[in-house]
Amino acid sequence: MNTATPAIQVNGLSKSFGGKRVVENFAIEVPRGAIFGFLGPNGSGKTTTIRMLCGLLTPDAGEGTCLGFDIRRESDKIKRRVGYMTQRFSLYEDMTIRENLEFIGRMYGVRSLEKRTDEILERFGLVARRDQLAGTLSGGWKQRLALATCVLHEPELLLLDEPTAGVDPNARRGFWDMIHALAAEGVTILVSTHYMDEAERCHRLAYLAWGKLLLEGTPSEIVSRSGLIAWEVLGPDLGGLQHRLAALPQVEMAAPFGAALHVIGTEADALEAAVAPFLNDRRYAWRRAEPSLEDVFIHTIAQSDIGRM
């Protein structure tokens, strides 16, 4: 494996279904061994984009390579080197964990299948449950099994489509520990997610809306390039305060953030002047804050909506 060349490099990818443009002029470069997160509203084209990147779906326009192979002409070679985990559990629920692994292994022609299955059971903490029916597993254990089957044939690239949807926080954390371990071994991982804490664990992010790439970079780069100024306020009746602040022209966004309210603008002096009358109200505690990744995404989509009107 040549780590010097990108795992994925594409330009101008576009795709339509039934006359509707789902992805438009998409271009990106993904380094080897990176965890690359795809975020965006439902219907933004995330899944379609990911499938085109690895040759699972042929684009209407555009070109590029995945793992050194042309995404149009050499898609069969790409598919053999990819592990794909769908959002919905797609293994056989009336088969045991071991039976599911061995079945998938035979499909991929895995050599020394019994030995490889034992290795995967051990690595993913599934040894004690190997004879348990997949259908009786909890959501977190189902996702763990699904990931195990994805890496059984030792792929170079993993595609994870909202892999932790509906999984409890503890199971999500353990799942992401496994993802980072795989990336450290050189596996490239594309993952779509709606969770901001998961987005922050990715090496790089792409934010899509209406089939277009709006933002791309590391989480810190995306925040720093946003140009957003943020104030944080704590106190009673934040809902009422939010409505008052949101009515001010200098305030571009006022949104709850945990127990606080984030007040966002793009002009520091103008925003400070806007909140100044509220600073002397002793019911509230104000401080300048760093905008969050969530602030940036919400602001970006709001401004993009304005641009589409």
pLDDT reported for residue 309: 41
Same domain, 145 and 164: yes
Domains of the chain: total? 2
- Domain annotation covers residue 111: yes
Domain end, chosen from 164, 195, 222, is at 222
* Percentage of the chain exceeding pLDDT 70: 97
Same domain, 97 and 239: no
Q: How far apart are CA 189 and CA 153, in angstroms?
A: 15
Domain end, chosen from 222, 252, 271, is at 222
Same domain, 156 and 264: no
Domain end, chosen from 173, 195, 222, is at 222
Cα–Cα separations (whole angstroms), residue 14 to 6, 42, 45, 58: 21, 18, 10, 10
- Domain annotation covers residue 278: yes
Whole-prediction pTM:
0.89
Same domain, 213 and 269: no
Same domain, 179 and 45: yes
pLDDT digits (tens, 9 = 90+) for 142-197: 999 999 999 999 999 999 998 888 788 888 899 999 999 999 999 999 999 888 88
pLDDT digits (tens, 9 = 90+) for 18-31: 989 999 999 999 99
Q: How far apart are CA 86 and CA 201, in angstroms?
A: 20
Same domain, 100 and 244: no
Same domain, 238 and 254: yes
Range of the domain at 261: 229-290
Q: Looking at residue 134, which CATH number applies to its domain?
A: 3.40.50.300
| Helix count and strand count (H, E) for the chain | 11, 14
**pLDDT, mean over the chain:** 92
pLDDT digits (tens, 9 = 90+) for 254-279: 999 889 999 999 999 999 999 999 99
pLDDT reported for residue 305: 60
Q: What is the SS3 assignment for 49? A: helix
